[in-house]
């Protein structure tokens, strides 16, 4: 693979010098050791030095350890905790301190090292996750202890949702945040505030999900988006030190590394950004920035249910757009209580407060009328 000069950035207050392109290794899980070694070797030869090691599967860790072994002085390892293995051999989220302590030391043993550069607390997504992780004697205290013992140089968290990540940044002494950064999801409110806070506090910001789980690259009927554009966008965001695209093979690695030699015209994402902003107008992404509702309606959930119902009736609601912008669909039911809010749209008084707050110009009152009509039909 052709070698290109790597841009070097500083990972916040850690002072670590990282390549602007790092590597997510999630998709190397389950691959043959020779293939893992080949991809990692090519990455290192092209200047990648930041590696996100996410799983606790023994074979995955052993394969990564074998790939790193000849290059240990050129590799920065971010090792995750809170990722365990179920009895059936699948991924399982764990907040058990003793289990995570054991799995962390298993990582050190397999990697034949006495420390990792960053211990990453995984999936701090909900406020309940924050409370569990940061309670006295919880996983955050384990991370503090590992850092004090010299077994981890720095502490990081990964998360996808603004409230829990923002709360953890505010309340806990952390050095690194791994957060989704991509053209699509950044259109929803609150996300760029995370970048601002990290930049202001000199917390190293690692951009994950730069392809939006592949959604950003698949936009039927619209301008194609390339990995180079996705990487350029993420690296242009305030505070971002490195991106960690996940790759399965040499071809996908080469697609990411193409950013290093791409001319300005190939890096430009201006047209894509403009299209994204235009497409969002009038489309609900269920962010609930329209709340609080004076009568307690969970507006995002109500509209999401309505969209599902109408989509099932082949209504022209352009469902691919909301799938593009929002990473996960809500699992809906007829139950009334979700976060203590009601799903009954007929309670809407049409006061218009939600319409004023909506960042995307959604006809919320019209949506409530449609849902109420459906409920009463």
Q: Assign 221 a pLDDT band (cuts: 50, 70, 90).
A: low
**Does the pLDDT at position 49 exceed 70?**
yes
Q: Count Cα neighbours of 137 within 13 Å in the Cβ-side half-sphere.
A: 2
**Does the pLDDT at position 289 exceed 80?**
no
Give me the pLDDT at residue 311, please. Answer: 60
* Orientation of helix 227-236 relative to helix 250-257, angle to 10°: 50
Give me the pLDDT at residue 184, please. Answer: 80
Domains (range + CATH), the chain = 8-272 (3.20.20.100), 281-375 (no CATH)
Give me the pLDDT at residue 286, please. Answer: 78
CA separation for the pair 372, 377 (Å, rounded): 8
For the chain, give the percent of residues with pLDDT over 90. 66
Tokens of 265: 């015209």
**Does the pLDDT at position 332 exceed 90?**
no
Q: What separation in angstroms does the CA of 217 have from each of 21, 145, 178, 314?
A: 18, 41, 21, 25
User: What does the chain come to in residues?
Assistant: 377
At 155-170, the pLDDT tens digits run 999 998 899 999 999 9
């Amino acid at each position: 693979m052709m070698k290109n000069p790597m841009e070097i950035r500083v990972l916040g207050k850690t002072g670590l010098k990282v390549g602007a392109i790092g590597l997510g290794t999630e998709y190397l899980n389950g691959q043959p050791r020779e293939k893992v070694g080949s991809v990692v070797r090519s990455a290192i030869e092209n200047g990648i030095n930041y590696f996100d090691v996410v799983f606790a599967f023994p074979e995955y860790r052993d394969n990564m350890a074998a790939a790193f072994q000849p290059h240990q002085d050129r590799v920065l390892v971010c090792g995750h905790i809170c990722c365990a293995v179920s009895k059936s051999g699948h991924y399982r989220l764990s907040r058990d301190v003793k289990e995570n302590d054991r799995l962390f030391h298993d990582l050190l043993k397999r990697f034949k090292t006495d420390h990792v550069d960053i211990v990453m607390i995984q999936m701090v997504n909900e406020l309940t996750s924050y409370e569990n992780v940061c309670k006295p004697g919880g996983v955050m205290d384990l991370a503090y202890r590992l850092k004090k013992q010299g077994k981890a140089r720095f502490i990081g968290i990964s998360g996808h949702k603004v409230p829990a990540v923002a709360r953890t940044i505010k309340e806990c002494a952390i050095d690194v945040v791994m957060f989704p950064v991509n053209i699509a999801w950044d259109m929803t409110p609150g996300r760029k505030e995370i970048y601002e806070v990290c930049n202001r506090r000199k917390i190293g910001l690692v951009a994950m999900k730069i392809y939006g789980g592949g959604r950003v690259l698949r936009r039927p009927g619209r301008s194609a988006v390339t990995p180079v554009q996705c990487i350029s966008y993420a690296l242009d965001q305030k505070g971002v030190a490195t991106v960690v695209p996940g790759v399965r093979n040499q071809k996908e690695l080469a697609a990411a590394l193409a950013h290093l030699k791409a001319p300005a015209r190939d890096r430009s994402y201006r047209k894509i950004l403009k299209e994204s902003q235009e497409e969002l107008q009038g489309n609900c992404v269920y962010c609930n920035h329209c709340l609080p509702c004076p009568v307690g309606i969970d507006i995002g959930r109500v509209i999401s249910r309505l969209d599902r119902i109408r989509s099932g009736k082949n209504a022209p609601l352009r469902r691919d757009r909301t799938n593009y912008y929002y990473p996960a669909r809500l699992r809906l039911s007829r139950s009334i209580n979700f976060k203590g809010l009601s799903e009954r749209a007929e309670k809407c008084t049409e006061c218009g407060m939600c319409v004023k707050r909506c960042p995307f110009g959604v006809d919320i009152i019209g949506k409530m009328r449609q849902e109420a009509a459906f409920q009463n039909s």
